[in-house]
Each structure stands twice: as C-alpha cells, then as structure tokens.
Amino acid sequence: MAKFLVGQVALAVYCVFIVLISTLTISSGVNASKIGPSYASDPVSLEGRKLFQTKGCAVCHLLDRQGNAPNGPDLALTKVGQRRDVHSIVQLVKDPQSQYPGTIMPAQSGMNNLSDEELTKIAEYLAKLK
C-alpha cells in the first residue's frame, strides 16, 4: 500500500512540475520567424505550434532542435507526420501508456491545462511535420 501511495505522489508531483515549468519554457520553444520547409505556415498549423510551446509539450519535446527539452524525441526531426495522422497523435497524447508502456509521458486526458480542441490543433500541426 505504501509503494502505491508513493507512486501516486510522485506522479502528482511530476504532473505539477510539468505544468509549472511549462510557463518557463514558452520562450525556449521554436521561434515563429524560423519556420523552415518542414513546417506548415497556415493559420491552423501556427496556432497548433503556439499551443505546443505554451501548453507544456515543449517541456519534454524539441521541435527541430529548438528548446531545452531533455526527455522526449525531437518531433520535427523524427518527422512524426510521416508516421502518424491526427487521430493517432491525439490517441497517443491522451494515453501514451497504451502505445509505449512504461513511458514517462503523462496522459493528457482529463488534464485541465489542455482541452480536446487544443490537443486536436496540436495534433494537426504535428501531423504536418513530414
């Protein structure tokens, strides 16, 4: 029972850390003026990119070597859009354990800092990184 509670506390602390630190990483995300050929520049993509930077994704993930993220893969360099569509990205973010058991990526379903609409916009942007 004690191990279970310690695990829950650690997960809660990690999630709070992610939310708090995301406010510090807004300026370390990809600069909108550095949009390269792999980035879509339509308004929906730019909004998804901004949400990626401001909603905590950039805490763990880089975009084309931009940022200070130590944990997740660089989503532009790995060309996530060649491997996943919007629906697949949404499902992964909502429940990463279902596709990568043991991952440290927290599930975003039910998180109060990312709505379904915002998640879809982020996924639409990431799906265009090819």
Average pLDDT over residues 35-59: 74
C-alpha–C-alpha distance, residues 119 and 10, integer Å? 25
CA distances, 104 to each of 1, 10, 18, 85, 97 (Å): 22, 12, 12, 22, 9
Cβ neighbours for 96, distance < 8 A, ≥ 6 positions apart = 103, 105, 106, 107
- 32: pLDDT confidence band, cut at 50, 70 and 90? very low
CA distances, 20 to each of 15, 59, 77, 93, 106 (Å): 9, 10, 26, 19, 14
What is the per-residue pLDDT across 65-108, written as a single tens digit (0 to 9) for each? Answer: 655 656 666 666 577 888 899 999 999 999 999 988 998 888 87
Amino acid at residue number 1: M
Tokens of 50: 């901004």
- 16: pLDDT confidence band, cut at 50, 70 and 90? very low
CB neighbour class for 64 (10 Å; exposed up to 12, middle 13-18, buried from 19): middle
Cβ neighbours for 128, distance < 8 A, ≥ 6 positions apart = 39, 40, 45, 81
Q: What is the mean pLDDT of the chain?
A: 71
Specify the pLDDT at position 36: 42
C-alpha–C-alpha distance, residues 97 and 107, integer Å? 8
pTM beyond 0.95: the answer is: no
Specify the pLDDT at position 112: 54
C-alpha–C-alpha distance, residues 63 and 76, integer Å? 5
Average pLDDT over residues 24-47: 54
Domains of the chain: 2-127 (1.10.760.10)
